[in-house]
């Protein structure tokens, strides 16, 4: 089969190529999912459109109000940015879990998101910091919250010719911080049995002002867990237990080779508690 490789230098060229070739084309960021799927014979795209020549997808901007992360910017490079790590430790925890050291030289937040895996580590981590997806396509630009960008296993809201350009995240307010935990039987090189992103904002008196929790790998897409019950009270063992129960109840896992329904439900609650505690501790340190 003939296969062509394109490396456009502008978004317009890339959009044009994707629009022209439709289903026969695949955008290529780090390729850490795409190339594996091609080698396994699951995908046989005729045209590969390498997006790494487009500056906007490779950029990283720490602005006064928001952080803009190019969709194809490598996770290894994100990790090396101490300011970014300090701002969103949870998001970087998630990024650090994607693949091995070598893979991370290629892997990107945008690529991980666009792959649409229900078990992706970036989904819950980006959802709790309310990241917004900046999308460019034949009809111009639009934005979508991460939670709406992910629509199901392997599916995203991207239309034909559309490209995820960047992720925009507001700088955290005072006394707020994120955290991400995932459960795998090993310590790395594995796929989440359960993933939990947490975000906590505290009042000056240490009580909970806002709490967000999103679960991965226990539903068709990122699963938000409502934590209204925590607001106004202290984030103590009782509150965390409540949050854990809410997470277990919200989880809608399947049985598969990576874990059973009962196991994933149980671990959803455990990770929810632990991630919220880490986020709350971090938030407290930011007072």
Residues binding other proteins (CB under 8 A): 1, 40-41, 183, 185-191, 193, 257-260, 262-263, 266-267, 270
- To the nearest whole angstrom, how small is the minimum distance from the Cβ of residue 188 to other proteins? 5
Q: Which residue has 């707020």 as its token pair?
A: 176
Q: Specify the 3-state DSSP secondary structure of 138.
A: coil
Residues whose CB falls within 8 Å of the CB of residue 6, separated by 6 or more in sequence, listed in order: 17, 47, 48, 49, 50
Beta carbon nearer to other proteins, 39 or 205: 39
Tell me whether residue 23 or residue 186 sits nearer to other proteins (CB atom). 186
- Give the max Cα distance, the chain: 65
Q: CB-based burial of residue 103 (10 Å sphere; 0-12 exposed, 13-18 middle, 19+ buried)?
A: middle
Quote the least distance from Cβ 64 to other proteins, whole Å.
38
Q: Of 86 and 262, which has the nearer Cβ to other proteins?
A: 262
For other proteins, give the closer residue by CB, 139 or 260.
260
Distance CA 151, CA 181 (A): 22
Question: Nearest distance from residue 102's CB to other proteins, in Å?
Answer: 13
Instruction: Tell me how far, at minimum, the Cβ of 65 lies from other proteins, in Å.
Output: 37
Of 36 and 86, the one with the shorter C-beta distance to other proteins is: 36
- Gap between the Cα atoms of 99 and 69, Å rounded: 19
Contact 168, 143 (CB under 8 A): yes
Whose Cβ is closer to other proteins: residue 140's or residue 185's? 185
Nearer CB in complex with other proteins: 40/64: 40
Q: Taking the alpha carbons of 272, 110, 47, 16 in that order, is the dihedral positive or negative?
A: positive
Q: Tell me the closest approach of the beta carbon of residue 173 to other proteins, in angstroms.
A: 32
Whether 51 and 14 have beta carbons less than 8 Å apart is answered as: yes
For residue 189, CA distances in Å to 68, 90, 98, 184 come to: 28, 19, 8, 9
Could you tell me if 71 and 85 are in contact, meaning their C-beta atoms sit under 8 angstroms apart?
no
């Amino acid at each position: 089969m003939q296969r062509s490789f394109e490396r456009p230098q502008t978004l317009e060229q890339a959009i044009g190529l994707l629009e022209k070739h439709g289903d026969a084309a695949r955008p290529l960021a780090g390729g850490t999912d795409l190339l594996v799927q091609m080698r396994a014979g699951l995908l046989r795209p005729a045209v590969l459109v390498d997006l790494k020549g487009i500056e906007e997808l490779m950029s990283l901007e720490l602005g006064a109000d928001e952080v803009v992360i190019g969709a194809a910017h490598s996770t290894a490079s994100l990790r090396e940015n101490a300011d970014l790590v300090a701002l969103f430790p949870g998001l970087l925890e998630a990024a650090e879990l994607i693949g091995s050291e070598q893979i991370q030289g290629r892997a990107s937040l945008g690529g991980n998101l666009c792959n649409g895996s229900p078990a992706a580590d970036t989904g819950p981590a980006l959802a709790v910091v309310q990241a917004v997806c900046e999308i460019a396509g034949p009809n111009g630009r639009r934005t979508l919250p991460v939670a709406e960008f992910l629509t199901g296993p392997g599916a995203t809201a991207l239309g034909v010719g559309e490209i995820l350009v960047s992720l925009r995240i507001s700088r955290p307010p005072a006394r707020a911080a994120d955290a991400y935990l995932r459960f795998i039987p090993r310590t790395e090189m594995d796929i989440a049995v359960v993933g939990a992103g947490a975000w906590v904002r505290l009042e000056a008196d240490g009580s909970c002002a806002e709490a967000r929790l999103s679960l991965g790998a226990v539903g068709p897409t990122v699963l938000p867990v409502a934590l209204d019950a925590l607001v106004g009270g202290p984030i103590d063992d009782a509150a965390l237990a409540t949050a854990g129960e809410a997470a277990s109840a919200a989880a809608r896992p399947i049985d598969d080779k990576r874990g059973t329904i009962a196991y994933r439900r149980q671990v959803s609650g455990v990770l929810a508690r632990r991630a919220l505690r880490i986020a709350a501790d971090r938030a407290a340190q930011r007072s």
